[in-house]
Amino acid sequence: MSKKIHGQCKLCLEQTDLIQSHIIPELFYKSLYEKDTHKFITMSTDTDRNISLHQKGLREHLMCSRCDGNIIGKYDTYIAKWLSQHTENTFKQSRTTLFKNEDYRLFRLFHLSLLWRFHIAESNLYNAVDLGENAEVIRKMLLNGNPGEANFYPCIMIIPHKTNKILAGGIICPGPEPTGTNEFPMCRIMAAGFLWIWFMLPDANGHPLLEAYIKPNGSMQIIKGPPKFTDKIKNDLIEINLATYKAPNAHKLNDWGFE
């Protein structure tokens, strides 16, 4: 059991005991866990950096148990259920898959909660995300269950052309630097077999991909990335894996159950 830390909850702002909150939901880590030890490793392209062993996802003391479980947990649970209902077969037929009658409020609040968690996290894995004064706006939205306008920091989801074990079994965090362009800055992660892209704008309009984000009527599109997109992600993950075996403590992999 982890040691309790007393401090200010990042969501409700009360002074209370803080628990270790998941930044990226644990459901995204399930495919990473070693089956016997239920642990996973973090890797880097930096061959001078040690491999780290973790359990239950990357966490920080960010929120009280009520906010983490009853508010953020509700948004995470909704997405977990949605992902379990839509497997690779859902997306095999066309370039774009249209969904209707999705829960706009819960989808939006999950997307915003994940972006907000990147912002408040201390790890440099999420340094690409800086919400500025809008972090407080989003905090209040999450606390009050207000999804806001669809083009306020919208998120789109892209599925690779062909999913496989290496794509579904890896997470690529936002990293230290933002992506996109000056006109359309973005934050992106690879998790649960999807590329999740946030437009880092409080009023995002004009980019062709923005047609895909969820609308207030519950419609949204999941885009299937072209083969070269899938190959790029696969190559990135392969590069990380190869670098891992050159890490100073790479000899620990077998001890930890990773071959």
Task: Give the closest residue to 249 by CA, choosing from 57, 31, 42.
Answer: 42
How confident is the model at residue 145, as a pLDDT? 97
Q: Is the pLDDT of residue 54 over 90?
A: no
State the Cα angle at 83 between 217 and 225, rounded to 5°. 80
CA distances for 188 relative to 44, 144, 158, angstroms = 17, 26, 11
The pTM is what? 0.83
pLDDT digits (tens, 9 = 90+) for 83-121: 888 765 566 656 788 889 999 999 999 999 999 999 999
Q: What is the pLDDT of residue 249?
A: 75
Residue indicated by tokens 């790029």: 232
In angstroms, the CA 61 to CA 123 distance is: 12
Residue 183 has pLDDT above 90, yes or no: yes
Polymer length of the chain: 259
pLDDT of residue 193: 80
Q: Which residues contact 21 (CB under 8 A, 6 or more apart)?
A: 59, 60, 61, 62, 63, 68, 72, 117
**Residue 30 contacts by C-beta under 8 Å, 6 or more apart in sequence?**
none
Question: What's the pLDDT tens digit per position in 199-245?
Answer: 999 999 999 999 999 999 999 998 887 667 667 766 777 777 777 77
Q: Which residue bears the tokens 């040690």?
A: 50
- Per-residue burial over 111-141, b = 16 or more CB atoms within 10 Å of its CB, e = otherwise: bbbbbbbbbbbeeebbbbbebeebeebbbeb
What six digits make up the tokens of 74? 């509700």
pLDDT mean over 183-193: 88
Q: How confident is the model at residue 165 (pLDDT cuts 50, 70, 90)?
A: very low
- Asked if pLDDT for residue 55 goes beyond 70, the answer is no
Q: What is the structure's pLDDT at 59? A: 84
pLDDT at 166: 45
Mean pLDDT of the chain: 83
Q: Name the least confident of 24-33, 78-87, 123-132, 182-191.
A: 24-33
- The domain locations on the chain are 5-256
| pLDDT value of residue 159 | 83
